[in-house]
């Protein structure tokens, strides 16, 4: 069949957000919408020609159709080899790993991460560069400009690829290699963790419940936890990936995975309770009677990372996104290693990882990972916790209690205001931005504002600058209020308000998060004025 160059007209809304282009399914189903964006990638990244490209997705509705299109266009644009996950399935960290294992020139990942799926749900695509990391902002900016001017796209017409049959197929001059989605990822995890010790822990009666949320990590969790580590089959729930994620919201937090919190509080709770999200890059960790916040999880893993086989060489550095609580900063100081504060978006960690200055990093949006890949990795975090529990002989609750006694406790919460009118969201941000200069030195109760600014970041590796990365009101080491617009939604605008309080006194380490943060929340109401300026009565989601 021939390679055709077909005429098209540009769309003006193909600007990538924090992690790719995300829209409603119906938007991607518009004539030539996906083709335009894909051709923009092939035009901007001309070096892909003659190279290897990884393709996969999280299995949500429209995943297969999009992958068929991507393969046909890869063949139409001179890609020498396409490696695609069987059934079109690849978790985000597994895809990043495949890029690295096969020295591929990049990868196309079809996912909207933790966003809902189905015909009326969300869809997305992101391009990962050689090395496995997300496309940097300079590249996504070029893609956007090209997408607004595009007039044609190239495609191999009549492409017929069997995504369910492993092995090689030929499409013109392009080799299509359909691979087991889990194999390479499972080998990577086995190289990092002490599988024998974890197997022994299960044999001694250790128990885990892992919720795959009918999303991509089901096959990965079954292969590793059940088949390789010997956990009972019942340890992995909602393991079958479904196009609509079973009608649920594949976001592992205390709202959409409330049943796991309830399980943690039950009389017969397992030792470890965990979940991952739509594309497998986020994680949720709970122990008996206890939720471990993402910032605490990052800090606690940092404190114990040297106990894991793949990290015996020690920590080269730690990093967190700016809105993430500062718990890991305290651990970094104790361990005498560098600690970096970056903008939100995993791409900002990648330069540090590639430069060898970083071993462990994380974000408050339930993302944690290490130098083993260039994406956050939900199942990696679960296995890391399993290995720590199995090695120390401590429960999750004991690990947390000992950590807080030594390093203090950062109480933390995020308030999401979803689907706001864009004008209202901008009014909130602009109003606070204008007020910031006058806030320094002002006292509210027991807290005095020491810093009030808009976060910017200069990459210590390449010197690139990112501005406008969130507004900060800082009360020394004691507390922070952060405000930023999210880049992961598909409708309207989302404001995220972050509240943080740090305590070290023994009698202040067992408060509820709500009680601990009540004074900071009251200050935020006065200074940020979200409800007043938007007409909302409160946040859409609290995590």
Q: Would residue 293 show up in a list of annotated catalytic residues for this protein? A: no
Give 112's contacts (C-beta < 8 A, 6+ positions apart): 22, 58, 60, 121, 122, 123, 124, 278, 490
Coil, strand or helix: which one is 208? Answer: strand
Q: Is the C-alpha dihedral spanning 188, 192, 198, 199 positive or negative? A: positive
> β-strands 152-156, 21-24: how paired?
unpaired
Q: Is the C-alpha dihedral spanning 507, 513, 518, 520 positive or negative? A: positive
Q: How is residue 506 annotated by DSSP?
A: G
Give 31's contacts (C-beta < 8 A, 6+ positions apart): none
- Total residue count of the chain as it appears in this document: 543
User: Measured in Å, how far apart are the chain's first and last C-alpha atoms?
Assistant: 52
Instruction: State the number of CA atoms in the 13 A half-sphere of 488 facing the CB.
Output: 17
Which residues on neighbouring strands pair with residue 175, listed in sequence order? 81, 170
> β-strands 21-24, 122-129: how paired?
antiparallel
Instruction: Quote the crossing angle between the two packed helices 396-407 and 378-392, to the nearest 10°.
Output: 90
Which H/E stretch holds residue 15? none
Q: Catalytic one among 91, 113, 147, 321?
A: 113
Q: Are 104 and 130 in contact (CB under 8 A)?
A: yes
Q: Are 1 and 172 in contact (CB under 8 A)?
A: yes
> How far is residue 251 from each of residues 64, 88, 157, 215, 220, measured CA to CA in Å?
22, 21, 37, 10, 17
Q: How is residue 133 annotated by DSSP?
A: P
Residue for token pair 């190239």: 154
Catalytically active residues, by annotation: 113
């Amino acid at each position: 069949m021939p390679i055709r160059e077909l005429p098209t007209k540009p769309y003006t809304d193909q600007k990538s957000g924090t992690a790719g282009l995300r829209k409603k399914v119906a938007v991607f189903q518009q004539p030539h919408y996906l083709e335009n964006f894909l051709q923009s990638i092939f035009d901007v990244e001309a070096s892909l020609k003659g190279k290897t490209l990884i393709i996969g997705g999280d299995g949500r509705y429209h995943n297969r159709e999009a992958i068929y299109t991507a393969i046909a266009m890869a063949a139409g644009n001179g890609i020498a080899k396409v490696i695609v996950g069987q059934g079109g399935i690849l978790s985000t960290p597994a895809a990043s790993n495949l890029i690295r294992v096969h020295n591929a020139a990049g990868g196309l990942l079809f996912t909207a991460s933790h966003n809902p799926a189905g015909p009326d749900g969300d869809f997305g695509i992101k391009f990962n560069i050689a090395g496995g990391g997300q496309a940097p902002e300079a590249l996504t900016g070029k893609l956007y400009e090209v997408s607004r001017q595009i007039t044609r796209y190239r495609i191999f017409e009549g492409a017929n690829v069997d995504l369910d049959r492993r092995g090689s197929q030929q499409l013109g001059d392009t080799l299509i290699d359909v691979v087991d989605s889990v194999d390479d990822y499972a080998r990577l995890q086995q190289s990092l963790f002490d599988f024998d010790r974890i197997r022994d822990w299960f044999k001694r009666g250790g128990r885990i419940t892992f919720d795959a949320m009918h999303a991509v990590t089901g096959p990965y969790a079954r292969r590793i936890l059940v088949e390789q580590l010997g956990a009972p089959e019942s340890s992995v729930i909602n393991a079958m990936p479904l196009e609509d994620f079973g009608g649920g919201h594949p976001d592992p937090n205390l709202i959409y995975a409330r049943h796991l919190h309830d399980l943690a509080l039950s009389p017969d709770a397992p030792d470890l309770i965990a979940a991952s999200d739509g594309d497998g890059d986020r994680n949720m960790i709970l122990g008996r009677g206890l939720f471990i916040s993402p910032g605490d999880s990052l800090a606690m893993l940092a404190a114990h990372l040297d106990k894991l086989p793949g990290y015996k060489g020690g920590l080269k550095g730690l990093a967190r996104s700016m809105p993430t609580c500062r718990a890991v900063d305290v651990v970094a100081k104790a361990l005498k290693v560098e600690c970096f504060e970056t903008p939100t978006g995993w791409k900002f960690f990648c330069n540090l990882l590639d430069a060898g200055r970083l071993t462990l990093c994380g974000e408050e949006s339930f993302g944690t990972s290490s130098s083993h890949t260039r994406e956050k990795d939900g199942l990696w975090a679960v296995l890391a916790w399993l290995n720590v529990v199995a090695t120390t002989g401590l429960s999750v609750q004991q690990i947390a209690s000992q950590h807080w006694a030594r390093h203090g406790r950062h109480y933390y919460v995020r308030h999401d205001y979803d689907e706001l009118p864009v004008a209202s969201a901008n009014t909130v941000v602009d109003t606070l931005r204008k007020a910031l200069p006058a806030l320094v030195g002002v006292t509210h109760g027991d807290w005095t504002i020491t810093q009030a600014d808009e976060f910017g970041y200069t990459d210590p590796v390449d010197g690139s600058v990112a501005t406008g990365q969130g507004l900060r009101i800082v009360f020394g080491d004691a507390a922070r209020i952060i405000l930023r617009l999210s880049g992961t939604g598909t409708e309207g605008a989302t404001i995220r308000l972050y509240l943080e309080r740090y305590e070290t006194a023994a009698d202040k380490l067992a408060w509820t998060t709500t009680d601990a943060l009540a004074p900071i929340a009251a200050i935020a109401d006065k200074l940020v004025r979200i409800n007043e300026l938007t007409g909302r009565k409160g946040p859409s989601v609290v995590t």
